[in-house]
Amino acid sequence: MPEAPYPADTRAKGWRFELNYEQIDQSDTWDIAAEIPMAQHSLLMMWYVAWKQEPCGSLPGDESTVRAKCKVSPKAWALMRDVLMRGWWLADDGRLYHPTLTERVLEMLEYRRKTAERVANFKAKQREQRGGNTLPTGE
């Protein structure tokens, strides 16, 4: 099994899940889902549910649990399963990942890393300035 794409404790922590409408419109899965009643709605729900999971952007490896979390009835799941599960792959942590969501999570993690680095550099410069700008004590 492939390795999980990011750490198990990865959470969105307020990071918004934004839909890329252009990417969705160009998706074969979206077009196929249009042929099955409520399948497009269920796709959106799957992405939303996955975004809230830990790790972010993943789903449990058990399809019955995925179905229940996404509020899809067993009868509807039987009709939609193939289209809803397109692109999802099972990682060594027992969770399902999708390339589009994985890409978004990795973008989020990289943004957070850069922000933390920028803040650390700013604070280091502030400490240097405070240390170099102290008033003489008169001794």
pLDDT of residue 19: 86
Q: Which SS3 state, helix, strand or coil, does residue 88 take? A: coil
Higher pLDDT, 132 or 74: 74
Q: Whats the size of the chain, residue-wise? A: 139
Contact 66, 60 (CB under 8 A): yes
pLDDT in tens, 76-127: 999 999 999 999 999 999 999 999 999 999 999 999 999 999 999 999 888 8
Closest to 89 (Cα-Cα) out of 76, 79, 102, 106: 102
CA–CA distance, 46 with 39 (Å, rounded to integer): 10
